[in-house]
Structure formats: C-alpha cells, structure tokens
Structure 1
Amino acid sequence: MKRVKVAQGVELEVLDFGGQGPALVFLSGLGNTGHVFDQLAPEFIARHHVYALTRRGFGASSWPDTGYDTPTLGLDVVHALDGLGIQKAVLAGHSMAGDEMTWVGTHLPERVDKLVYLDATDDRAGIAVFLRELSNPPMPTVEFPAGASREAVVAILTRDLGGPYPAHELDQAHEFDPTTGGYVRPRQRPDAVAQMIRGVARVDFSAPRAPVLSLFDGQGFAEWMEAMMSLERTPADFREKARDFLPGLRRDTEAADAALRKQPNWKLVKLENARHYLWLTHPADVVREMNTFLAP
C-alpha cells in the first residue's frame, strides 16, 4: 500500500497488485476502499499492471472537508494516474465509481484505454435529487447494529452482498472497538456519503468513445427503493414520495439501457442471479468477461 498526492493536502491510498503490461485501475463504489477488490484484482496481473484506489474521505485516504463532487473525484483519478506515472489506463469501476470514470472518459479521453463498468451505470444524479428532497433519507449502504461482533458483521455482509467479503476490506472500511471488538462506525469522514450525494453530477454514459464493457445484475435503484419501502424503519416521507417517483425511474432506466445497447463501442452483459457486488457472487463470470474484453 502507498499513497499518491492528488491535490493540496489530499492523498489517496493506492494498492499496487503488481503485474506486467498496461495499467488496469480499479475504482471502488460508495463506502468501500480499494481493498474490496483484493480477490478480483490479482486475476489480471498476467497481462496488466493492476492497481486499486480508495477515494478521498474513505479508509486510509485523506479526509478533506470538500471535494466530493463528481468532477473533483474524477480529477482525483487523473491526478493519481499522474502520480503513478501512468499516461493511459483501463478504468474498472463499481457502482458510484461509474460516474467518476465516465467523467474522465468524457473530459480527458486521452487518459482512458478502455472502461469496465461493474454494475455502475445507474442514474445516480436522478436518485440523488430524490434523496436530497427528503429530511432523513436512507442511504444505499449496508448498516450494522452498534456493538455487533466482527463475526456478525461478516455474516450480514455475506448475506446482503451475496458472497465472501474480503478480509482486509472489513478492517479498512469499518472500525471496531479495540477493547470489546464490537462494531463502532464506518471508517470514513462522517459526512462523506452525504457530500457525494449532494455533489453527484449527471453524466452521459454514451459520451466516452473508448471501448466499454458493462457487467450488470439487472437490478437498480428501483429495486432498492422497493426494498426500502417494505421496511418499518424507513421514514414515511420516503415511502410516500417513492410511490410517485418509481414509475418515472423505471421508464428512464429502461430508456437509458436501450440507448446504451445501441452504442457501437459498448458491450453489455447481464449476469443472471447476480447481485450488486458482481465479483463476489459471480467471480468466474466477471474474470472471464473482463479477460475476453481486455485481450489485445
């Protein structure tokens, strides 16, 4: 593990998995660190030099007061490439990282070789607007009871994410009481998630001209909202507004998916019965599809 400077007073954690060949850089989703790819990244070192980044505000990276909007986070990726001496890279991003890599591919296309979206093409700008209008909205992240044991947290993560959770990610993305061993909080700036939600910029996924592989599970924010509506702890205003918001969200999602399928530089692959963390539920499928796509 090392750190690379991306702005004044801001350094990002960089995981260097080694390998030979062009750079492949993994970008984690909301709430995660680069360690979430500890099991996936080594699968590609035969033909690539593989890295993973932890964005600002999370894990071992710097926790500055500002800079959680999409353009700044996108520039963080570019400045990290600069610091690593990488002129051009394959970017592979999960979930919310899709916005950052799309921003890079749109505004600085010369820095991108190929793009791999790991269930990362949802319209986060639309859902962010919806969440910002609520007084106390639930967030699309896994929650744990205060004081839960490490074993209990692992069990919850394995159940909710659908596969074995990387051991180092547990320590890097979560804090446990050193005396009792009980769960304390996420290892992140307390308002980082809220700042990212406020700072989401609408991106055009069809804008980058680089070759694109999109692996997805066939579910999105509509399914998450439906799940939230069924929980007793979900605020009443969320349920009420979600009922009106869901039909339009479904229409927009279907239209966006149809538009991407028409893009000549896009390859879309739905992994049946997968979940949001595709490489945890379907590791062999993700490795196979990525290797085929990344082949010279």
Structure 2
Amino acid sequence: MSDRPAGGFVSRDGVRLHVLRWESAGPALVLVPGLGQSAHVFRELAPALAGDFRVIAFTPRGHGQSATPTGDYTLEGFADDLRAVLDGLQVERAIVVAHSLGGTVATRLAVRSPGRVRGIVYLDALHDYGRWGEVMMRNPFPPPPRPDFGDRDATRAWMTRYVPGFWCDALEADLKAHAWTDMASWRSELVMGLLDDATVHPTPYAQLRCPALALVAAESLRTQFGWLQPMEGADRERAEAYLRTVREPWRRASEARFVREAPGARVVRIDGGHYFFLTARDRVAAEIRAFASSLTPLDT
C-alpha cells in the first residue's frame, strides 16, 4: 500500500470539498481534522491504517484546498459536508475518526444520520467548549500570539516551538495546503464561528446510537509547556497547579460526561499532547484497529 494518497473533490450544493484517499478493499474509515486544519494532517496516520481500511481524509469548507463559500459555517453544516463526502464517494457506512473540534462534527453526523456511522473514534476531542475560554485565560504561561496570516515561515517556527511543539511531514503538508493571501484572514473569521457554535451547543453524546472510543492526551508539563523546560521553582509550581486544579478537572469532567452519556463509551489515555496521533502513530492505529474489530455485525 502506497503512502501517497489520491486527491480529489466532492461537491455539495456547488461547494468543492477536498479529500485524500488511500484506497483498499477494507471497510471505509473517514478521518476528520480539527479546526483550522486539512486532510493533509493525517498523511502519517492514514498509511498506518490503509492496509486494513479504505481510508478517506476530509477537508472541511474554508480549510486547505476546499472552497470558501460565505455561509454554512456551523457544526451541522460541516456534518452535512461530511455526509456529502460519503455520498460522493459511494460510502454507505463508515467508521469516523475525528480530531479535536472534528469530534463534534462526527457526533452530529452520527446523530442526524445514524445509519451512516458504524462507530466513532475521538482523538483528543472531548472538550467542554463552554469552559474552554475560562481554562485558557487561567493559563499562567500562555504561548505568544500566533504569527500574522501570510507568513508561512514564521508560522512553522511558532508551531514547532509552541503548538504542537514539534514538526513533521504531515504538518508541513497541512501548512502548505492553506491559503496565504488575504483569503486566510477571511477564512479565519468565518470558521471561528464554529467555536461559538460548540460553546452554545454541547456535543450530544446521549443521542449517539453507535459505539464510541475516546483516545485522549495524557498531558504533562512537557506537553503543555515544552518551550519552558526545564521549569524550576515558583514557575514550576504555578504550572503544576494550573494543570492539577484547572486543566485536569476540566478534561476529566468532559470525559466523565462522555462515559456517562454515550452508549458503551470507553476512554483510553495516550502519552503526548493534543497531536498524539502524530507522535504515537502506531499506538493510535492499533487502538483504532482494535475498536473496528470489536464492532458486532449489528454495527456493520
């Protein structure tokens, strides 16, 4: 199986949506990126799955090589885009693997079109966005602002040092896929409405009718404040207190709601930060394969 995917587009109501495909005879598995990223961010995870699945990575509207219409930048709209990708590629049912805010999109697709989703794997995607702003504001050592749109080199350097704190081929491909003109700033204004939507409308886990697995980051001083290492004295105490009393309770409360509400839900912690599917690729791929193998005939 080649690591190089086939690229293409699917349209919904005239809006071109970019996809990458690693074709095989296996069951369909669709990868959904988080806010601000494209199908290219999965260029390292997808080949690790392609021997067992027909892997399709989807780029939402306003991102990467997909079109940038003026409307439908809502979680429901993105779920409709994802369903259009399934329709356009003649996928009747799929396992959906979604990163970050993409998890809310996957959930809405499964709730609105339960016959299309065999199961969901969430990749660090259980955040309670209603409290996200508060948690970020209480961070004692936030990274500096991201560089202005249009400066690709500065963006690469910022991401390598701060978020996610490393660099790899998939992130490079994702970076190159984005617009670097005035379009980039306009796109940002459009898609940020998704965060507002997620803040007002919590992810409806209780309405799921398919199995669900959440792989979540096992955060640490290294993953959250890597650019400040080694931390010592009062700074280390403040950072540890933030993780222990603010960030960790926020994350655990989100996980508890997921387990309480989603049928048969399970949570597995993976060492690493928010992008652990790139740093722990083989472990993540193994968890996805095991989840797929656990689906009963009723889920297929």
TM range (shorter): 0.7 to 0.9
Alpha-carbon contact 1:96-1:124 (below 8 Å) kept: no
Distance 2:23 2:214 in 1: 25
Q: State whether structure 2 residue 24 is matched by structure 1 residue 26.
A: no
Greater fraction of residues in helix: 2
Stretches of structure 2 lacking an aligned partner (at least 5 in a row)? 1-6, 227-241, 295-300
Equivalence for 1:170 = 175
Equivalence for 2:236 = none
Which string of whole-angstrom CA distances, capped at 9 and with x for unpartnered residues, describes residues 24-45 of structure 1?
Answer: 1100101001100011111111
Alpha-carbon contact 2:149-2:180 (below 8 Å) kept: no
Which string of whole-angstrom CA distances, capped at 9 and with x for unpartnered residues, describes residues 159-193 of structure 1?
Answer: 321443323212003528xxxxxxx8848724123
* Matching residue within 44, 62, 69 for 2:67: 62
Alpha-carbon contact 1:214-1:267 (below 8 Å) kept: yes
Residue 290 of structure 1 and its aligned partner are, at CA, apart by 1.4
Equivalence for 1:240 = none
Alpha-carbon contact 1:57-1:188 (below 8 Å) kept: no
The range that moved more, 71-80 or 195-204, is 195-204
Distance 1:149 1:78 in 2: 32
Q: Which amino acid aligns with 1:23?
A: A
Distance 1:83 1:17 in 2: 16
Equivalence for 1:276 = 274
Matched residue of 1:276: which SS? coil
Equivalence for 1:180 = none
Percent identical residues: 28
Distance 2:266 2:144 in 1: 28
Distance 1:197 1:259 in 2: 19
Residue 9 of structure 1 and its aligned partner are, at CA, apart by 2.5
Equivalence for 2:11 = 5
Residue 146 of structure 1 and its aligned partner are, at CA, apart by 6.7
Root-mean-square deviation (Å): 3.4
TM alignment of 1:246-265, pairs within 5 A: 253-262=251-260, 265=264
Q: State whether structure 2 residue 164 is matched by structure 1 residue 161.
A: yes
Describe the shift of the 1:249–1:269 C-alpha distance in structure 2 as closer, same or farther (beyond 3 A): closer
Equivalence for 2:146 = 143
TM alignment of 1:185-196, pairs within 5 A: 186=184, 189-196=187-194
Residue 278 of structure 1 and its aligned partner are, at CA, apart by 1.4
Which string of whole-angstrom CA distances, capped at 9 and with x for unpartnered residues, describes residues 254-290 of structure 1?
Answer: 3332233355522211113x11011122222212211
Matched residue of 1:157: which SS? helix
Q: Which amino acid aligns with 1:169?
A: D
Residue 19 of structure 1 and its aligned partner are, at CA, apart by 2.0
Which string of whole-angstrom CA distances, capped at 9 and with x for unpartnered residues, describes residues 206-236 of structure 1?
Answer: 431212121111459xx98x99xxxxxxxxx
Which string of whole-angstrom CA distances, capped at 9 and with x for unpartnered residues, describes residues 88-142 of structure 1?
Answer: 01111100101111111122111001111000111224547x79xx9xxxx9997
Equivalence for 2:126 = 121
Describe the shift of the 1:264–1:73 C-alpha distance in structure 2 as closer, same or farther (beyond 3 A): closer
Distance 1:39 1:170 in 2: 14
TM alignment of 1:38-77, pairs within 5 A: 38-77=43-82
Distance 2:21 2:186 in 1: 21
Describe the shift of the 1:147–1:83 C-alpha distance in structure 2 as closer, same or farther (beyond 3 A): closer
Distance 2:197 2:113 in 1: 20
Distance 1:141 1:270 in 2: 28
Q: Which amino acid aligns with 1:49?
A: R
Aligned length: 259
Normalization by structure 2: what TM-score? 0.74
Alpha-carbon contact 1:31-1:173 (below 8 Å) kept: no
